Chains A and B, each alone.
Chain A
Amino acid sequence: MALITDYLVQGCQMLLILLLAPLLTGWVRVIKARLLRRRGPPLLQPYRDLYKLLGKEVVLAESASWLFRVAPYLIFAAIWVATSLVPTFATGLAFNWTADLIAIVALLGSARFFLALAGLDVGTSFGGIGSSREMMIASLAEPAILMMVFTLSLLAGTTELSAVARFMLTAEVGLRVSLGLALLALMMVAIAENARVPVDNPATHLELTMVHEAMVLEYSGRHLALIELAASLKLLLYLSLLICIFAPWGMATAGAGLVAYLFGVAVYLAKLAFGGFLLALFETSIAKMRVFRVDEFLGAALMLGLLGALLLFVSRGL
């Protein structure tokens, strides 16, 4: 019986994140528009976009290969699986142990690998520019996030997210400099990885500074829908990661009753809304930077992560 409940909760989480991801994207867009004193699109616009895209035919470039058609499914699958392994409203999900934080980061790396290849597949200059910059950004973002994993592992003694969340709920954590640095590093990486301002601009097209949008320029119809959904999921993943590690309060534990789960979901939604609000606030208050300033931005994230880990070596109390 307990096993069935576990699987059920895991299944709920998979569906919940899939349904929630476009809402989060819409929410951030609405807040951004309001902060700019625009009315902005309706909250549910991303769902309508997806619905419309799914019904359209795919216009495939003549030089596109089978990889171009398979890649959206691979990217979507990798990101969906990665997101479902991050504890959102409850810890100790049935399949949490399938992949620890390092493996989740690597799964995102798989998705990025295929997206970058898809960008190169048609053989246009825009696709190439996007792929090449995306890989440059990733080459700094991935070590930065792994340094954060290092810090966490030193403190919590584990790289498994459920266990990390449980550890963070205990009283012995307290306020620590190293955790602050890790938080900062993870936020910077999250901004870069999700192609947000100041690293990239999700709302722009036809601009030489774009990265993510340049890679997916040739996609249309259902393929584009999958990639858009995957991008929304990735944003949700990073916010959930921040919540799970640095603000795990209110999470239900494994085997808790239905009420606890519902409470967990409510708290999670509130935290997501707040996180989305902060993201929108940050994005509207900062200007997009030049591409070759991104390495300084992410280099800083890497150094912060490394500093956080080194501080813990000096003293476990920091």
Chain B
Amino acid sequence: MTLPLLLILPMLLLAAGVYAVIIARSPACSRQMYGVALAVSTVALMAALAYLFSGQAPETLRLPIGLPWLGAHFRLDPLAAFFLIVVNLGSAVASLFALGYGQHEKAPERVLPFYPAFLAGMNLVLLADDAFSFLFAWEFMSLSSWALVMAHHQDPANVRAGYLYLVMACFGTLALLLAFGLLAGPDGGYNFDAIRTGRITPELAALVLILALIGAGSKAGLVPLHVWLPLAHPAAPSHVSALMSGVMTKVAVYGFIRIIFDLLGEPVAWWWGGIVLALGGITAVLGVLYALMQHDLKRLLAYHTVENIGIIFIGLGLALAFQGNQMYASAALALTAALFHVLNHSLFKSLLFLGTGAVLTATGERDMEQLGGLIHPMPYTALAFLMGAAAISALPPLNGFVSEWLTFQAILISPELPQWLLKFLAPAVGALLALSAALAAACFVKAFGITFLGRPRSPVAAQARETDRYSLTAMFILAGLCLLAGILPGLVVDGLGPVVGQINGGAQLTAQHSQPWLTLVPIVDVKSTYNGLLVLLFMAISGSIAALLIHRLASNRVRRGPAWDCGFPDASPATQYTAGSFAQPIRRVFGSVVFQARERVTMPPPGDLRPAKLEVRMRDPIWELGYAPIAAAVVAISTRFNYLQYLTIRRYLSLVFGALVLLLLGMALWR
């Protein structure tokens, strides 16, 4: 009986939130609140883990709350359990981090009440088993995270971010509401069980897919619905950013999977996969290109979330394409890759955001151009951040590589698909995926290199101190998990087995734990194998042999001296490469097309003492082509109808009367 426990825990969190409203201003409140959140998340994590690995049947529960004729339905199945693990792992670590980080919060009364509420909302979305509870929890999650985004509302940029977030969240929920309406049909069976058994026509099902893509995609950050994400995620306090980017986007992915793979059931047309696949590929590449152009560390990370969501949706799109052709064994591989990436991204993105939080505490700065050399005062934070950076760049033997490798393997079996469109699309998406992986590595060389390496670019960076022990513990837990999932991927794949089976007609990958040396063998061993454990072992052995031999037999002397720099070292840290100059080659190669990046150099003539200037102009195609026209249209229409606000009562009444007549007329004619 895990479900009642998992329902009581969010209630505890909500109670803690209410309690926080009362005592938020007392100095001990922060510790208590994060301590409670840590304890509750850990218990929920254990419960979900125990449920998933014991292989029990789904549990359901109906509570007499909510709509009187519907009640509130809750259900715990492997899919929900897996996402509960992701959510509660992220929450537990973020809460542990916040035990230290939260001490620096200037406005705790604006964070502490909403933080537990946010966690509770995410948990309830995953447990909901009817449309009403789902949407209610979804909105609760959105609004509580909105409040956290607005925690530092004195900054006008945050207010704008919050506004955009609110608009996009409402828009997304509206799409989901319509999707559930279509799924429930005219009889209104909003219970998920009723939806599962009901059948809808293929046209309506396609409409549900579009609506789910809009609703869940806008929350997850699918291009072109991603615009709020790089503004809102960085605006929140860092541990909340970690949760929003690392965990809440996964709840959105859960929403998509639940609606499309579970509720909609069988009538899957093959071209659905094509749409999702293409969207995923575009999202992956655009996300990382946007990220490369950023100098704000948190915004860079938020754009990377967009990239990773793209990778997850590539896997989901492949799975849909395979399912549309009844190729369930291949679909199992694609789904495993996608879910593995869900877990991985929640680990390393949370880690990177927490690392940024540590940098923010130490320096008060998140603009990379002001940082530099932090590896000297903050060696442990640097190590943890480096592991996160290597993991997200898909470098073996860490975990990011495993899920991207699995995605590649899924793409490599796509020639078996019968439709030509998919056959051409799959290698193109493969190229996009490879491009985004390579660009991600470039981006994280920049992020880590400019922030932590080199010489300090500002006094605050020079005076930084290592962060507290709670924060370090939290970061190293995540870094350790990144390594573990990378070297023992077979165990994770086995854990994902029942989850994949549930949404894939029972088909799942073969058990991996019995493979020799714990090798990962997704299909058969003549096709492709990977063993992260051995790669790590070999690297460790050959590296230590080299180090040992060289230090024993050759020289181990070291002398410190000034940097060489071709004989002209300059003492000014301004002569180093900056984030902007690091990204310049890539901006020229890719940005000139995608962002129409233009550089203009104004060089004063000889004798003129004004400094030379380099200006870079970039345009955001999605904002300018997609959002700006809509916003302009809304403003134009509302300006035009503005005079309606100042009418006399007589005119209002005649307007009402006219509208009534028109409506009745319309109904009479339609009948």
Note all chain B residues with C-beta closer than 8 A to A73. Answer: 543, 546-547
Chain A 154-187 interface residues, beta-carbon cutoff 8 Å to B: 154, 157-160, 163
Taking A56-B555, A147-B431, A306-B428 as contacts, is the C-beta distance between A124 and B565 under 8 angstroms? Answer: yes
Cβ of B56 within 8 Å of any chain A Cβ, yes or no, is no
Question: Which of B412, B431, B446, B539 lies in contact with A77, CB distance below 8 A?
Answer: B539
Report Cα–Cα, A95/B449, bound state, in Å.
34
Q: Do B546 and A125 have beta carbons less than 8 Å apart? A: no
Contact, CB under 8 Å: B542 / A80: yes
Tell me whether A78 is interfacial, beta carbon within 8 Å.
Answer: yes
B161 on interface, CB distance cutoff 8 Å: no
In the bound complex, do residue B527 and residue A54 qualify as a contact, i.e. CB atoms below 8 Å apart? no
Query: Are the C-beta atoms of A313 and B560 separated by less than 8 Å?
Result: no
Q: Does residue B576 face the partner (Cβ distance < 8 Å to A)?
A: yes
Indicate whether A117 sits within 8 Å of B528 (C-beta atoms), given known contacts A60-B560, A81-B538, A146-B408: no
How many Å lie between the Cα of A309 and that of B435 in the bound state? 16
Residues A142 and B395 in contact, CB atoms below 8 Å apart: no
Whether B96 sits at the interface, judged by CB under 8 Å, is no
Residues of B within 8 Å of A258, CB to CB, are: none
Q: Within the complex, what minimum Cβ distance (angstroms) separates B424 from chain A?
A: 6
Check A113 against B427 for contact (C-beta < 8 Å).
no
Question: What string of 1s and 0s marks CB contacts (under 8 Å) between A105-125 and chain B?
Answer: 011011011001100111111
A131 to B412, Cβ gap below 8 A?
Answer: no
Find chain B residues with CB under 8 A from A120 CB: 445, 449-450, 453-454, 577, 582
Please report the C-alpha to C-alpha distance between residue A110 and residue B379 in the assembled complex, in whole angstroms.
21
- Confirm or deny: B401 has a beta carbon within 8 angstroms of a beta carbon on chain A: yes
A253 to B375, CA, bound (A): 49
Q: Between A and B, how many residue pairs show CB distances below 8 Å?
A: 273
A152 to chain B: closest residue by CB: B412
CA distance A120 to B573 in the complex (A): 12
For residues 79 through 136 of chain A, which have their beta carbon under 8 Å from a beta carbon of chain B? 80-81, 84, 95, 97-100, 102-103, 106-107, 109-110, 112-113, 116-117, 120-129, 131-133, 135-136
Bound-state Cα–Cα, A113 to B444, Å:
9
Q: Give the Cβ gap from A78 to chain B, nearest Cβ, in Å.
A: 6
At the interface, yes or no: A35 with Cβ under 8 Å from chain B? no
Please give the distance in Å from B352's CB to the nearest CB on chain A: 15
The A-contacting residues of B in range 414-432, CB under 8 angstroms, are 415, 423-424, 427-428, 430-431
Contact B526 A55 (CB under 8 A): no
Q: How large is the interface on A (under 10, 10 to 19, 20 to 34, 35 or more residues)?
A: 35 or more
Place the interface of chain B in its size category: 35 or more
Q: Does B561 count as interface, using CB distance less than 8 angstroms? A: yes
Closest residue of chain A to B527 (Cβ to Cβ) is A158
Other-chain contact of B531, A74, A99, A121 (Cβ < 8 Å): A99
Q: How far is the CB of A164 from chain B (nearest CB, A)?
A: 11
Give A78 to B546 CA distance when docked, in angstroms.
12
In the bound complex, residues from chain A placing their C-beta under 8 Å from that of B570 are 125
Judge whether B10 is part of the interface by a CB distance below 8 angstroms: no
Contact flags (1/0) for A187-201 with B, using CB distance below 8 Å? 000000000000000
What A residues does B531 contact at CB under 8 A? 97-99
Task: Let me know if A150 and B453 touch, CB within 8 A.
Answer: no
Q: How far is the CA of A270 from the CA of B373 in the complex (A)?
A: 48
Does A283 touch B at the CB level, under 8 Å? no
Question: Looking at B372, B449, B566, which has the most chain A CB atoms within 10 Å of its CB?
Answer: B449
Stretch at the interface among B13-21, B193-201, B333-341, B386-394: B386-394
Instruction: Let me know if A125 and B575 touch, CB within 8 A.
Output: yes
At the interface with chain B, which of A20-28, A61-69, A240-248, A271-279? A61-69
- Whether a CB of chain A sits under 8 angstroms from the CB of B607 is no
> A312 vs B426: C-alpha distance in the bound complex, in angstroms?
13
Q: Which residues of B contact A205 (CB under 8 A)?
A: 566
Enumerate chain B residues within 8 angstroms of A139, measured Cβ to Cβ. Answer: 435, 438-439, 441-442, 586, 589
Do A217 and B546 touch across chains, with their CB atoms under 8 A apart?
no
Residue B206 at the chain A interface, CB threshold 8 Å: no
Q: With A and B bound together, what is the CA distance between A205 and B564 in angstroms?
A: 13
Residue pair B454, A63 in contact (C-beta under 8 Å): yes
> Does any Cβ of B come within 8 Å of A295's Cβ?
yes
B382-413 CB mask vs A (1 if < 8 Å, else 0) is 10001000100111100001000100110110
The verdict on B563 contacting chain A, using a C-beta distance below 8 Å, is yes
Complex Cα–Cα for A22 and B550 (A): 17
In the complex, what distance in Å separates the CA atom of A150 from the CA atom of B410?
A: 12
Query: How far is A186 from B519 in the complex, measured between Cα atoms in Å?
Result: 28
Q: Are A77 and B454 in contact (CB under 8 A)?
A: no
B353 at the interface (CB under 8 A from A): no
Q: How far is the CA of A225 from the CA of B583 in the complex (A)?
A: 30
Q: B396 and A146: CB pair below 8 A?
A: no
The 8 A CB mask of B546-563 against A (1 = contact, 0 = none) is 110010001111111111
Asked whether B441 lies within 8 Å of A67 as measured between CB atoms, the reply is no
Are A129 and B560 interface neighbours, CB within 8 A?
no
Query: Which of B438, B547, B585 is the one whose CB lies under 8 Å from A133?
Result: B585
Please list the residues of chain B having a beta carbon within 8 angstroms of any beta carbon in chain A: 372-373, 375-376, 379, 382, 386, 390, 393-396, 401, 405, 408-409, 411-412, 415, 423-424, 427-428, 430-431, 434-435, 437-439, 441-442, 444-446, 448-450, 453-455, 519, 525-531, 534-535, 538-540, 542-543, 546-547, 550, 554-566, 569-570, 573, 575-577, 581-586, 588-589
A65-B453, A206-B566, A221-B557 known; 11 new pairs, CB 8 Å cut-off, are A60-B561, A65-B376, A98-B538, A110-B396, A120-B453, A121-B453, A132-B581, A135-B585, A150-B411, A158-B526, A295-B588
- What are 28 residue pairs bridging A and B, where the CB atoms are less than 8 Å apart in the complex? A55-B555, A57-B559, A59-B560, A61-B560, A73-B546, A76-B542, A84-B538, A100-B529, A103-B535, A106-B395, A109-B394, A113-B441, A121-B375, A131-B449, A136-B589, A138-B438, A142-B437, A146-B408, A147-B427, A159-B528, A217-B564, A217-B566, A218-B563, A221-B555, A222-B550, A222-B556, A295-B588, A312-B415
